[in-house]
Amino acid sequence: MYWYHAETKHSYYSVRSNPNAMDWALQPSTYKTYPNSFEKFELDSQNLWHGIIYYAASISIKKYYPTGTERFLRVNPSAGALYPNELYFQARGIEGFEDGIYHYEVQSNRAVLLYRLKEGEGVEPYMGYETAMQGMLFLVSAVYYRSSWKYKNRAFRYCLLDAGHLLGSLESGALLMDENINIVYDIKRRELNKMFGFGSREYFLSGAMVATPLEEKVKPIKFELIYVDGSGTFEQNEHMEIAYRQTSHLLEKIAESKIPKFDYEKVRFQESILKRRSQRGFEGKPMTKAEYLKVMEVINEPILSDCDEELELFVVLNRVHHMPMGLYHKGKLVKNEDLSQRAGYLCLEQYSLGTQGAMTFFLLSNAKNYQALYQKAGIIGQRLYAISTYLEIGCSGIGAYYDDEVNAFLEQEGMVLYALAIGR
């Protein structure tokens, strides 16, 4: 997928010669709402199965402005607060849900019953499972115009990163009920897109499961849902549509079966999930070495998935007590100097983040499965948000950076996927 990545790079010249110009008359909605002819059930965060969804994708705060406008922030972060991703799921044999296919309606915190399961059928075969799965099977989609309205051709990157953040948020929700989540990238996208009535405006990117296999075989479910608009306004973006089609078939894949181990105090972790915010700037205060070690421990835990693409993680340490300043790779210091100004410049000159933060992260990859590797970067980013908030440290995801200059700085040729900064 190198052509798409290469064509959507930022440079010092490109961001000045071709700035994003948004047509506010075409601003899309960030909510998808099914008609009231579908049954809808309000989620109860005290129900553990409901809680997985509630602590992964719900609205966590409402902000009111003097102009009379409102802004709703969610548990999961999103580039520009545009939230291009939607969450669907199958429930089977669990408390609080009738066996069926659902959509999570974020605005009202309700589960919308799209289809009741009949005996012997389910979405399992579309996700690579031959037998019925007791629990929840998730599907993550993107309503791409929500992001391309602002970010134009580069928006496919953000749809994937934000999908990864949503998967990472599901991981956090599952941890609250002492369960692990398994990510599934090799899903039958074309068949699922058609059944769910997406047309050309929405498409599935990945799946996940918190479930245990049963003995009975299951056949592929067959239904056709009505088309429901997820953005209100729309402009086609051929770059994104071609990029999606060309990256929808996985090439060689290697699964990750190692189970991650996290050491969170559950009540405190649950509270921190709802407190998560994206930091707009840092005050230049340092972190402790113990905090640094805890952060690195969490983000380097394995991610259970059917396609574990290799990512390279580089960290610029600006302010960590008892740690030399400089660039680190795999825990080793490779450049021992004050690189804080350079890190801020590389992050599209967002010095209040890359320079004033205690640590700046850059994620790269040369792997082939573009959708999987990009979403993995988003999962790592979400883990960074989770541990930072838990430790009462600020975090900010940075999807815009000078791509080639980051490569030159790191002396690496891989695709630059993501930058993040943490600090106080």
* Type of residue at 413: E
* Type of residue at 410: L
4/364 Cα distance (integer angstroms): 16
253 in Cβ contact with 128 (< 8 Å): no
Neighbours of 69 (CB within 10 A): 8
- Is 411 strand, coil or helix? coil
More confident residue, 16 or 152: 152
Domain locations in the chain?
Answer: 11-246, 278-423
Give the mean model confidence (pLDDT) for residues 362-377.
97
Task: Of 423, 401, 400, 421, give the one whose Cα is nearest residue 410.
Answer: 401
Q: Record the tokens describing residue 148, joined without a space.
A: 């391309």
Give the mean model confidence (pLDDT) for residues 279-295.
96
Q: What's the burial of 93, exposed, middle or buried (CB within 10 Å: 0-12/13-18/19+)?
A: middle
Q: What is the pLDDT of residue 15?
A: 87
pLDDT of 19 higher than 90 = no
Q: Do domains 11-246 and 278-423 have the same CATH topology?
A: yes
Q: What is the pLDDT of residue 415?
A: 97
pLDDT of 63 higher than 90 = no
178 in Cβ contact with 265 (< 8 Å): no
| pLDDT tens readout for residues 142-195 | 999 999 999 999 999 999 999 999 999 999 999 999 999 999 999 999 999 999
pLDDT of 65 higher than 70 = no
pLDDT band at 398 (very low <50, low <70, confident <90, very high): very high
- Phi, psi (rounded to 5 degrees) for 215: -85, -30
Give the mean model confidence (pLDDT) for residues 9-14.
92
Q: What is the pLDDT of residue 108?
A: 95
Q: What is the mean pLDDT of the chain?
A: 95
pLDDT of 1 higher than 60 = no
Alpha helix stretches (DSSP H) within 32-183? 48-57, 145-151, 155-175
Q: What is the pLDDT of residue 355?
A: 97
pLDDT band at 68 (very low <50, low <70, confident <90, very high): low
Q: What is the pLDDT of residue 84?
A: 98
Q: Record the tokens describing residue 64, joined without a space.
A: 């009111």
Per cent of the chain over pLDDT 90 is 93
CATH number of 11-246: 3.40.109.10
pLDDT of 373 higher than 80 = yes
Give the mean model confidence (pLDDT) for residues 111-119.
97
pLDDT band at 67 (very low <50, low <70, confident <90, very high): low
CATH number of 278-423: 3.40.109.10
Reported pTM:
0.97
Q: Record the tokens describing residue 47, joined without a space.
A: 């129900």
DSSP-derived letter for residue 248 is S
Give the mean model confidence (pLDDT) for residues 289-311.
98
Place of tokens 């949503």: 166
